[in-house]
Amino acid sequence: MAKLFPEILGIEAGQNSELANRIVDRVKAGNPQVVIKPYKSGGPTILNLPTQLPARDKEKVIWQHAKRALIIREKCKRKEHGYLRFLHVFVAVGDVVEEYQFTLSMENECPYSCQFCYIQGSLEKKPIPTIFTNLQDSGVLLREVKIALLAMHMHTQTHGLLHNIGWDQQKWVHWLMGVLNKSIPINLSDVPIQQLFDANKDEIKKYLSQSKNPRMKDIEANLDKFDFKDLKQKFKFNCGEINDALVFDHLTDNSKFLIELFSSETMKNDGAVLLFRTKSANFDNLKQLPPSENTRVSVTILPAIYVKGPPDYIGRLKGAEQLLKLGYQVSLNIDPIIFAADSMKTYKKIIDDIKVHFNVQSEKFHRITIGMLRFGSKNLDNNIRKRHIDLHGHANDHMTRIDGDEKYRYDSDKRIEIYKTLIDYAQAEMPGIEVELSTEPLPIWEAVGLTP
C-alpha cells in the first residue's frame, strides 16, 4: 500500500521531541521534495494558495490544498475538557444509541478527501492535517486515561447509563475530570484506579467540596460508595474520531505506543478499550505487535462514491483479514450509505466482497456497523455547500432535519427500508453475523429488528 507523505510540512517552533524528530526524518525520506515551513497558530497559512481565489471556490480550494499539507505541533490543555490535552467525552443527543466513549485526539483532520466527512464541521477552521508531537511524552497520556476512566466510572455509578451521553452529561464528566486533574499527582504509574482513588480520596473530596457545579454534590455524596474493583463496564478510547487512526502511523508509530499503554492487565481491569478506526490499510505496525484483548480495529468499507484518497476497499478488506488471523478484534463499517438509484446493488456488492475476502466466522470478528449519510446543520450550510455542490444538492433534495435531532437525515421510512434490506441480505449470506446501526435513534433500531 502506498504510504502518504505531505508536500508541505509546517513545524511549530521548539519541536524537538523524539516523536517530532521521527516525523520530520520520515517525511524527508518519503518525500525528498517536501517544503518545510515554520508554523504558528494564528500566523500566515503554510499553504501555497493561488493568488486569485474566486469567492465561490475559495473554501473548496483551501480544503483541497490543505489535504496535501501536514502540521506538527504540541497539543495544549483544554479548559472545557477538564484541563486535559488529549481526551474528551464523545457526545450524542436525543435517543440516538451510542456507547459511552472518549475521543483520543492524537491528531486532527485527515489527508483523505471524503466529501461527506463530518470532520469538516468539527474542524471547520483547521482543515490541515495535524499531528500532536507530545502524545508520547512520558506519563502524560497514562495520567489522562486514568483520570478519564475514574471520572466516567464515578459518573455512571452515580447517574447510571443511558442510550448515550448528551451535552449536559458531557459537561458534568468534563467538570469531574477537572476536579480529578487537580486532585491527582502529576507523576503516577499504571496502578488500578481503585488504588489511585483510595490514595487521593481526601484531595478529591476537598476539590469536590470547592466545586461550583451543583452536579458535583451528587458525586461527593457517593464518595464512600464508589467501587472500582471487578469492573464490568468498558469505555472505548477512540483514536480515529476526528482523524484517521492509522493513515500517518508510518510517520508516528502511535499504534505501537498506544497498544503498549492500553494492553496492561491494569488497563484491562480498569475498563479501558482502545479503538483504531480507519479507512486506510496502513497495518504494518499492527502486524508486528502482539494483539491485546482490549484493542479493536474498525475498518470502513465503502465504494468510491464521493471518496478520494483511501485505498480500494478490497485492499482494506484483505488487510483486515490479515489482522483477524493475527488475533486482532476487527469490526467492519459500511457507513455512510449514500442513497441512489442503484444503492442496493452497490452495497450488496460490498457484502458479497466481505463474504469472499473476510472470515466473518472468526471468533475475533466483532460486527458490521451500517449507517446512512447525515449532516450536522452547520456543517451542511457552512462547509458542504461551499466545497461539494453536488453533495449539497443531494442533501437538499433528499434530506430533512427533524425536531429534536441535530442532524439532517434521509426520511426515516427510507432509512428503515434500506437497513432492513441490507441486514436481511447480510444475515442470509453470512448466518449469525452481528449487525448494528451507526448514530441512529432507538426507534430506528427497533423498527429494523435490532436490539442495542
Kindly state the average pLDDT of the residues 209-238.
Answer: 96
Rounded Cα distance between 94 and 375, Å, is 16
pLDDT score, position 445: 97
Asked if residue 263 has pLDDT above 80, the reply is yes
Residue-wise pLDDT tens digits, 373-399? 999 988 999 899 999 999 999 999 999
Rounded Cα distance between 84 and 81, Å, is 6
Strand order in the sheet with 399-401: 374-376, 407-410, 399-401
What is the DSSP code string of 309-320?
A: SSPPHHHHHHHH
Residue-wise pLDDT tens digits, 430-445? 999 999 999 999 999 9
pLDDT score, position 87: 98
Kindly state the average pLDDT of the residues 224-231.
Answer: 96
Asked if residue 306 has pLDDT above 90, the reply is no
Alpha-helical regions (H) of 31-134: 58-66, 119-122
Better-predicted residue by pLDDT, 36 or 52:
36
CB 409 within 8 A of CB 441: no
Kindly state the average pLDDT of the residues 99-123.
Answer: 94
**Phi, psi (deg, nearest 5) at residue 11:** -120, 125
Alpha-helical regions (H) of 135-275: 140-159, 167-183, 193-199, 201-210, 215-221, 249-252, 254-262, 265-269
Residue 306 CB neighbour total at 10 angstroms: 18
Asked if residue 2 has pLDDT above 80, the reply is no
- Grid cell, residue 353, equals 466482497
Asked if residue 122 has pLDDT above 60, the reply is yes
Residue-wise pLDDT tens digits, 128-185? 999 999 999 999 999 999 999 999 999 999 999 999 999 999 999 999 999 999 999 9
Average pLDDT over the chain, rounded to an integer: 95
Asked if residue 103 has pLDDT above 70, the reply is yes
CB 221 within 8 A of CB 258: no
CB 96 within 8 A of CB 163: yes
DSSP state of 164: S
Rounded Cα distance between 125 and 107, Å, is 15
* Terminal Cα distance for the chain, rounded: 36
Asked if residue 31 has pLDDT above 70, the reply is yes
pLDDT score, position 1: 54
